[in-house]
Structures are given as C-alpha cells and as structure tokens.
A and B are shown apart, each in its own frame.
Chain A
Amino acid sequence: MELRILGVSKTYANGVQALKDVTLTIPAGMYGLLGPNGAGKSTLMRILATLQDADSGSVTFGEIDVLTRKNEVRETLGYLPQEFGVYPKVSAESLLDHFAVLKGITERRARREVVEALLRKTNLWDVRKQRLGGYSGGMRQRFGVAVALLGNPTLMIVDEPTAGLDPAERVRFLNLLSELGENSVVLLSTHIVEDVSEACTRMAIIDKGEILLEAEPLRAVEDLHGRIWRRVISTDALPALEREHAVISTKLLAGRTVVHVYGDSSPGVDFEPVKPDLEDVYFSTMARHVGSRRATGERTRIDES
C-alpha cells in the first residue's frame, strides 16, 4: 500500500493558495509532514481524508482514486482532525460503539471487544461511562484517537495530534501510531520537530503550500554535517549578525542568544561547529538553504541533499 499525491493544488475562494503542486509518495510506516502553522498541512490532510476537494492533481491509495471514490477510502481510513468536537451528552463508550457500527464493525461481540480494547489503549476505560461534555481537552483528544483507530485503518491521517497532549500522553500516542505503522500508511502532520525525529522514518517539509524537502530524517541530518555553526551573543547584537551571516535559528539560553548559522565553511573564529539535529534541517530548509527550492543570490550555498 502506498499513498501517491501528484500535483495537488488548492486555492480558496478568498484567493489564498493553500497548496501549490504538491507531489509526495508515502509508503507504509510513519511519515511526518512538518511545517509552520498556515503552511497548508491541514488543507492537504483534509483532502486526503476525503473532506475537501482539490482543484487539480491526483491522489491514489493503492488502487483507489482518493479524490473520486471517497466511500472506498473511508472503508479503510482513520482520520484524526486538528480540531473536532463531540456530542456533549453521551458517554465515550456509547459514542465509540456508535462509530464502530458506522465503520462497519456490525457484529455485536466483535464490536464490544474492539471498543473495550481501544478504550483501554487510550486510557479512557475508567472514564468510559462519563459524558464527553465533561472531558478535558486531552481526554477528548484521546477519544478522537480511539475513533480514528477503529477497524485497523490501512490509511491513517493525523493532523497535529500531539498539540493537546501532555508529555506522557504524547509518547503513548506516538507508540500507538508506530504500532499501526507496521502495516499501514500513517501520515502525521505537525509543527513540532520532535514528533518527526522521534517517530517518523520519512518526512516532508512544507511551507506556504509548497513541499520544500522530502527526506529520511536521519539522512537529512547526516547531510547537514559540518554546515551548522553556533555562536552565543547578546540579544542586541543579533540584527548585525543576521545581516552578515545565514542565520537559520535563534534560541534564548540564560538570557543570551544562541545563534545557529548555515555555512559550508566556518563563518568566523567566533563560531563553533555543532552536530546538527533535525531542527537544524527544518530551519535550514525553511530558510531555503536546503531542499528542492533553494534561495538564489549571494547567500546560496552548494549542497546536494
């Protein structure tokens, strides 16, 4: 099973072009779609989840045309939206049971087993009789996870799933997805670099509706080796430094600013080389030093990623 996205574009009625000619091939396993808020991630996820139509392009999952044969996709789809609500005046158990029937698990005993297993997996078993209206944000998110996992989907689309989870819940959830990813295509969108570095074997970086980089996280980090330089400065020295060097990211550390700079060779004696991580890949890509659509001009560096 493979999800193939070919030249998908989408422009909203208000003129915003959310997706520009997006092409991706997503094999079985965990695949991370990384990008800032407003990059077009959710639009792409909704198109893949059959909730929105693309203006052009094609999407196929195995033999199924995702854009036209929506109900066939839905037979095998798990979707966790970025934002969703639930009926407030019903218990988690009875609503999950309802969804199980809608997903085609019609045999009563099988359904009861599936519902119980998922409530236990998502740690909602003890609160299964409570009304969903009284659930916290994290509990509701876990309920969404349980709905998405119903029926062991072979295509799993999860949109910013870790945003509302606490650290323990987040690890638990990523483990659940990894388990599913052994046999299914799991596409996870996120703006959190750690989600991708911890869980995904392949990734793409998207910004302003365009795919900037498609890579394996470990390879991408390796490719950056020797090109990331670090310097600690006072915050007011930053503007001057930004004019002279290809600053990709800044971070505060004990009141001073840690600057990461991209460069094939050392930008100066004040800089020390650092071992790159996926965050450096992300910011180098966002600054257009790495990836398929690199910036042109004097700051352009040669690389072969």
Chain B
Amino acid sequence: MKLREIFRFEFLYQVQRVRTWLYFAILFVVAWRLVITSGGDPGSGHALATSPYDIAIDTVICNLLWVLLASAVAGSAASRDVQTLMDPLVYTTPISNADYVAGRFLAAFALNALILLMVPAGMLLAVLLQGAEPGTLGPFRPASYLSAYFIQALPTAFAVSAIQFSLAALNRRAVMSYVGSVFLVIFVSIIGGVVINLLQRPTLGRLLDPIGYITVIGVLSKTWTPIEKNTLLIGLQGWMLANRILWIGIGLAVLALTHRRFRHVR
C-alpha cells in the first residue's frame, strides 16, 4: 500500500512537470526525423529506412540522447526530498527502506519507459505519414519495432535508470545522475572501443556496452551485408541477449546496493 502510494505520488509529480513533456516531445520528433532523413542509401542497395537494422540504429541514437537528456527523471526521484529539505518530514514516517527505494525507482523507470516509447511512436508516425523519400521505406515489420523497444530500449532504461537513481540517492544530489550519465557514455564508449579495436575482443566489447551504440554502429555497420541489414533482427542476436541479461543484472545489483546503503537520517 505504501509502496503503491510512493510510486503513484512520484509518478504524478513528475508527469505534471513541463520538463517531462519536453522529453516526450524531443524523443518523438528526433525519432520521426531520423527515419525521414536517414532513409537508407538506395544507390548501394542496402538499408531501407525501416529495415530492422535502421530501426535499431535510430533506436540506439535515441537511447543515447535519452541517457543524457532525461537523467533528471531518476535523479530527482532519488534526491528531491533532500534537495527540497523535506527529508526530515519524510524520513520520520513509518515507511520501510525497501518501499521507499522501490517506489521511487519504479516511478522513475516507468516514466523513462514511457518517454522511450516515443521513439517507436515517432518512427511509426513517419511510416504512416509516408514522409520519407518514396522507395526508401521497406515493408512494415512490427517485430523490428518490438525488438527495438523491448530488447534494446527497455533493458537499457532499466540499467541506466538504476545507475542514475543510485548515484543521486547515495550522494543526495540530483546532478550526480547527470554526471554519472556523461561518465557512463564516455567511459563505456572508450572502453568498448579499446576492447573491440585494440584488443580484438568484439564479444567482450559488445557485452560492456549498455546502450549498444558502439556495437550496432561500430561493428554491425561494417560486418553485416546489405541483405542482412534489411532482414536480420538485432534483438535476436546471441550477444545482444547476453548483453541485456548482463545489464539487467547490473541494474539489480546497483539497486540492491542502494537499498543497503541508503539511510533515513540526516
């Protein structure tokens, strides 16, 4: 009951912010424009604008944008009590640490999942309006969008929200979730690049990448043939599933740590 109330209140509080609706709008418009403008390269015969590969790439770009843009969703859910000085009122109510951490985190995650839902929505709008160049749109394959959202976007949202939430909660400052997000993007891309290109360990590199952009853009763009790009679903690749399981695990571990370390004291 208290968990549900903490979730409800946090979700409503953030969904009523203008900032939140800006995130919705930006991701929707960016996804829509990406389909229209990046629509393949008909000359070389590969990659239609709505091929599974292109949808995966657009999703990666939007996820990356989301990591940096919307870090405040998890950050403020984790630290608003301290930052508004309301913590002495909240922390003296009889709520368990588990209800508090879980309620706030799940609200942030749910909101982020909705924000990221704007990406397939924007892409589908482009398809519906046929705004792209004639001939660049392939056949409509729902599996491409489902895979992009449920296998690419959602696990990323879970892991990254957990990291953003924990950094803000344990440091008691929302800005730490943004600092952590920038660090995550830079650090992971450097490490991933080094592992893949210098150490020649592409599998390990793909595992380390929570967003998928080095692996999708850096590796598949070179190794997949045009036909593979038009037909293969990225979500069904073995390394992708391993990567997703690893990052969901990391997200759970980070949340468990936060639950252990977070104290309702001043």
Contact = CB atoms under 8 A, between A and B. Distances in A.
B17 interface: yes
A71 B266 contact: no
A84 B88 contact: yes
Contact of A87 (B1, B5, B13, B91): B13
Contact of A51 (B5, B80, B88): B88
Interface string A66-102: 0000110011010101011111111000000011011
Interface string A82-126: 011111111000000011011110100000000000000000000
Contact of B89 (A52, A53, A84): A84
A46 interface: yes
Given A46-B266, A102-B5, A87 B94 contact: no
A84 B265 contact: no
A138 to B, nearest CB: 17
Contacts of B90: 102
B85 interface: yes
A84 B92 CA distance: 12
B44 interface: no
Contact of B88 (A49, A99, A101): A49
A49 B93 contact: no
A107 to B, nearest CB: 10
Contacts, number: 71
Given A102-B94, A102-B95, A104-B94, A84 B266 contact: no
Interface string B1-41: 11001100100010011000000000000000000000000
B84 interface: yes
Interface string B224-266: 0000000000000000000000000000000000000000111
Of B2, B13, B88, most A-chain CB atoms within 10 Å: B88
Interface in A122-157: 144, 147
A84 B85 contact: yes
A79 B5 contact: no
B interface, how many residues as a size bin? Answer: 20 to 34
Interface residues of A, number: 30
B86 interface: yes
Nearest to A148: B89
Nearest to A83: B85
Dominant secondary structure at the A interface:
loop
Contact of A71 (B1, B88, B96, B265): B96
A79 B84 contact: no
B92 A77 contact: yes
B2 A85 contact: no
A90 B80 CA distance: 13
B94 A81 contact: no
Contacts of B84: 85-88
Contacts of A84: 85-86, 88-89
A197 interface: no
Dominant secondary structure at the B interface:
loop
Contacts of A52: 265-266
A184 to B, nearest CB: 15
B225 to A, nearest CB: 53
A53 B6 CA distance: 26
A156 to B, nearest CB: 11
A11 interface: no
Nearest to A106: B1
A66 to B, nearest CB: 12
A74 B88 CA distance: 12
A51 B93 contact: no
Of B92, B93, B96, B264, most A-chain CB atoms within 10 Å: B92
Given A98-B5, A101-B1, A104-B94, A89 B265 contact: no
Contacts of B2: 101-102, 104
A51 B89 contact: no
A98 to B, nearest CB: 5
B5 to A, nearest CB: 4
Contacts of B92: 49-51, 74, 77, 79
A77 B95 CA distance: 12
A102 B17 CA distance: 23
B85 A102 contact: no
Contacts of A90: 13
A75 B96 CA distance: 11
Nearest to A144: B89
A51 B266 contact: yes
Of A83, A87, A88, most B-chain CB atoms within 10 Å: A87
A142 to B, nearest CB: 14
A105 B160 CA distance: 35
10 contacts: A46-B88, A52-B265, A70-B264, A71-B96, A77-B92, A79-B92, A86-B86, A89-B16, A90-B13, A102-B95
Interface of B: 1-2, 5-6, 9, 13, 16-17, 80, 84-86, 88-96, 264-266
Given A84-B86, A87-B80, A102-B93, 9 more contacts: A51-B92, A51-B265, A74-B92, A85-B84, A89-B16, A89-B17, A99-B93, A101-B2, A106-B1
Q: Which 7 pairs between the two chains have the least Cβ-Cβ distance?
A: A85-B85, A74-B94, A102-B93, A81-B88, A101-B5, A85-B84, A79-B92
